[in-house]
Chain A
Amino acid sequence: MVDTLTEIRHEYAVKTMNVVKEYIMGKQTLRALKGVSIEIRAGEYISIMGPSGSGKSTLFNMIGGLDKPSSGKVYIDEVDISGLDAFELAWLRCRKIGYIFQTFNLIPVMTALENVTLPMIFAGMTTQDALDKGAELLSLVGLGDRIRHKPLELSGGQQQRVACARALANDPAIILADEPTGNLDLKTGHEIIELLRHLNKEKGVTIISATHDLKMLDASDRIIWIRDGLVDKIEARADLDIGVGTLQGEEV
């Protein structure tokens, strides 16, 4: 799977500089992010931890180019994304970044396979190639026999697997996962984490995952703690000392 994305890989997959995000709610201004600067290297598995309302989902949206910061800069592969126009931003979302959401966000009217092929169609792939690759990706996530099922005919864990396959559709350099295990039970959550870890190791995809699931920590290389819209601390996994399960990543 050698392609242009790997050729132009830079040291930092994501860099933010002093990102501030303010929401105006009536007369009040809510500062969700108060100046966040982080650097994420290509190929890292990063967890962004923090309590609800800490600003981690907002940060996730900033990194993914899903929303614009009020001030500060976000670099994806050393490109300042505030300078991109709508066409370039769409290209970035389509090719460079794969998204996984807490609520899966599959398109309910499409089958698993159609959901996975949609980003490829947006990327200009021919239908047959897209179908082939979609089927391949779905078997990679263990749903090879379910490709014709609609999201509502699948369990939560299966839906999230479809979302993982969809995120991989255009061989992104980065996968952004916003609480991917938030709506899943322990076991399925565990499976999704293993899947992400596997993709990270095998394909070298940078994984950035906002979470408050402690299981995720074991899998990650570094943990960025966010509190009240600021980076609280950044820890490497080696420095962690929490007894949650086994180190899932080690089996690979």
Chain B
Amino acid sequence: MTSDAMTRAGIQRQIKLPNSEAVKIAVRSIKIRFWRSLITTAGIVLAIAFLTYVMVSGAIQTFVIPEDAIEPVGLTAQQQATRIWLIAISLLVCVVGISNAMLMSVTERYREIGTMKCLGALDWFVVKLFLIEAAFQGLIGSAVGALTGFIAAILVGLTAHGLLLFPSMPWGRAFSHVLIALVVGCLLAVVGAVYPARRAGKMPPADAMRTEI
């Protein structure tokens, strides 16, 4: 027992992966796979643009005072229901699209993950790298998406209301919708990457390297 403890003293515990290094590796990995990550990010952009558009144009419809009215007409019960449906569908598009993109971008790199584990990466190094990468893609994708959706909603609002849109435009509410869409995008990107990254992290290196996609 004591001799066992003594020989094991030679073995230490692997613990380190500095955040700065992890961020560097993740950023580089996004940059170098630019076109591949663009497709992944495009999925996020589209989904978030749709979500933002639906929410912001809903706010415009609800609060902007039309030319021939004194106060906003608001939405009818049916419009309200349609709007909730649209938001639900766009969220669904987000969940499916983003998690699929993340799943693919992790599984196509099993061999790389196996290699990293051979070099001494712990399971959570791998998870960490992929989550940082996903968070970046989520952030960039949702920022672009939210902006696109917002601009689209304003343009559509302008065609409906003309310049009268601006005096009664619910800016605060619109921005909070943009913020919600941003958070949803980042969250979904990270959540979508957790499962495949954890699975990849847990694989014995030999299996990970044998996997062919």
Query: Residues of A contacting B120 with CB < 8 Å?
Result: 90-91, 93-95, 119, 122-123, 170
Whether the pair A61, B119 counts as a contact (CB closer than 8 A) is no
B158 within 8 A of A: no
A93 vs B117: C-alpha distance when bound (angstroms): 8
For A132-164 the 0/1 string (1 means CB < 8 A from B) is 000000000000000000000000000000000
Query: Residues of B contacting A169 with CB < 8 Å?
Result: 119
Taking CB as reference atom, which chain B residue is nearest A170?
B120
Whether the pair A121, B21 counts as a contact (CB closer than 8 A) is yes
Whether the pair A90, B117 counts as a contact (CB closer than 8 A) is yes
Q: Is the interface of B mostly helix, strand, loop or mixed?
A: helix
Q: How many whole Å from A238's CB to the nearest CB in chain B?
A: 33
Whether the pair A79, B10 counts as a contact (CB closer than 8 A) is yes
Taking CB as reference atom, which chain A residue is nearest B119?
A119
Query: Residues of A contacting B2 with CB < 8 Å?
Result: none
Q: How many whole Å from B95's CB to the nearest CB in chain A?
A: 28
Q: How many whole Å from B30's CB to the nearest CB in chain A?
A: 9
Taking CB as reference atom, which chain B residue is nearest A61?
B206
Whether the pair B14, A91 counts as a contact (CB closer than 8 A) is yes
Query: Residues of B contacting A106 with CB < 8 Å?
Result: 115
Q: How many whole Å from A174's CB to the nearest CB in chain B?
A: 13
Looking at B55-63, B71-79, B121-129, B134-142, the stretch in contact with chain A turns out to be: B121-129
For A116-128 the 0/1 string (1 means CB < 8 A from B) is 0011011110010
Binding site for B on A (CB under 8 A): 8, 61, 64, 66-68, 77-79, 83-88, 90-95, 99, 101, 105-110, 114, 118-119, 121-124, 127, 166, 169-170
Binding site for A on B (CB under 8 A): 4, 7-8, 10-18, 21, 28-29, 32-33, 111-112, 114-123, 125, 204-207, 209
A-B contact sample (8 more), CB < 8 A, given A95-B120, A121-B21, A122-B14 = A64-B118, A66-B204, A67-B206, A79-B10, A90-B121, A99-B119, A107-B112, A118-B116
